[in-house]
Structure 1
């Protein structure tokens, strides 16, 4: 299946685009991204279209990267919101070979989920955010599962996403007390170089994303060929 990578460059005069790309409450941004794909699908539209996205800070301001299994429709953007530049990832996937050196980037949500006994013993929440060295160790494990052996790693905190959970009517029937629950996604940006150990695993990791919070701008793994180390 072909994957498409799209860069959304916001229009310089669009206050709406600046607002949606500049906030950490990302319900509106997620809805904007999904509005670029066909209507009438299901509550699992993000999964159906393989949508992952990430805000990229550039010298020209915040841009949006969107990965999907079909190209988004630029005609679905509001007038003046921005422009879409789309290309396939076919050539990238053809270049993935064992031992190849890559640059990588991923904004992910590194957490651990302690068991009930551990939570009770240490009074821990169900999801514990990881920072510093423990976040780096988490990334090393994810990279290994993704068919990568990191050579270098630089991590830095990214803004935590704060939002509210909006459930469908069907979900509210079974989780009525959870409707409107606050959502927090702790995020870290991981950058570096790595060698490919398993192209198949890497392909799946790029396609499916890494970790939790994919509807909130987490999990998109970007790679690009790098010169082989001397």
Structure 2
């Protein structure tokens, strides 16, 4: 049965690189460098290679004071997924990474199989302007968004089972100097496979917006059959 085979790399950022990677565009350039992109300061974006996704693991940020927006925290590790094996040696040699462990994963889900799913996402909707989006803030809207998007990709889930993490703001400055911000949430749920091919495509392509800034990498594991 056709499935999905992909590369994964677990990166550990050096402390100084971790500080700089609070800027989401800086972290994006760092990931690009594993695929021939330019990670130097001031470099413009060369575009995310096809099917390259990543998810940062961040330190727990200090509690926001007053009306401050909760920061996403400093990234310390990054999980990168790609169809081809990347090359992190230049960043290791420069001391910007302290470790890079690459391995492969294979997925062969089938219809009717149950699984657990986790994703850092940017739940959002389009405004009337085709180029503008607004992040969803109501947890009920976020649950409905994930339920709908998973159904579009061959997965059935119970809206009430979706766990919605708190909103976290990431910020950055593009090569043009334009600053941006993005609201992310960690979402977790159980799901049942309706269409295995669609699920494999979802794992390859990612979910939703913000994929250049650490959103969309869907992590899954199959539920073990109940013991008889």
What TM-score bracket applies, with the shorter chain setting the length? 0.7 to 0.9
Deviations, residues 166-219 of structure 1 (Å, cap 9, x unaligned):
3xxxxxxxxxxxx43332211111012111111111111111111111111111
Deviation of 1:126 (Å): 3.5
Task: Give, in whole Å, the separation in 2 of the partners of 1:38 and 1:163.
Answer: 22
In the alignment of these two chains, the number of paired residues is 200
Q: Would you say the 8 A contact 1:104–1:193 is kept in 2?
A: yes
Describe the shift of the 1:58–1:6 C-alpha distance in structure 2 as closer, same or farther (beyond 3 A): farther
- Residue 7 in 1 paired to residue 10 in 2? yes
Q: Which has the larger share of helix?
A: 1
Deviation of 1:44 (Å): 5.5
Deviation of 1:66 (Å): 0.3
Q: Which one of 81, 85, 98 corresponds to residue 101 of structure 2?
A: 85
Counterpart in the other structure of 2:197: 200
Query: Which deviates more, 104-113 or 157-166?
Result: 157-166
Task: Give, in whole Å, the separation in 2 of the partners of 1:202 and 1:115.
Answer: 30
Deviation of 1:157 (Å): 2.5
- Residue 65 in 1 paired to residue 67 in 2? no
Describe the shift of the 1:81–1:126 C-alpha distance in structure 2 as closer, same or farther (beyond 3 A): closer
Counterpart in the other structure of 1:170: none
Calculate the aligned-residue CA RMSD, in Å: 2.8
With normalisation by structure 2, the TM-score equals 0.77
Q: Would you say the 8 A contact 1:110–1:135 is kept in 2?
A: yes
Describe the shift of the 1:199–1:33 C-alpha distance in structure 2 as closer, same or farther (beyond 3 A): same
Counterpart in the other structure of 1:99: 112
Describe the shift of the 1:18–1:164 C-alpha distance in structure 2 as closer, same or farther (beyond 3 A): closer
Describe the shift of the 1:163–1:58 C-alpha distance in structure 2 as closer, same or farther (beyond 3 A): closer
Describe the shift of the 1:181–1:38 C-alpha distance in structure 2 as closer, same or farther (beyond 3 A): closer
Q: Would you say the 8 A contact 1:17–1:82 is kept in 2?
A: no
Q: Would you say the 8 A contact 1:106–1:189 is kept in 2?
A: yes
Deviations, residues 68-120 of structure 1 (Å, cap 9, x unaligned):
11112131222362211222222xx22x111111111111111111325xx9x
Q: Would you say the 8 A contact 2:154–2:194 is kept in 1?
A: yes
Task: Give, in whole Å, the separation in 1 of the partners of 2:90 and 2:157.
Answer: 39
Task: Give, in whole Å, the separation in 2 of the partners of 1:55 and 1:109.
Answer: 14
Task: Give, in whole Å, the separation in 2 of the partners of 1:149 and 1:70.
Answer: 30
SS in 1 for 2:157: strand
Counterpart in the other structure of 2:133: 127
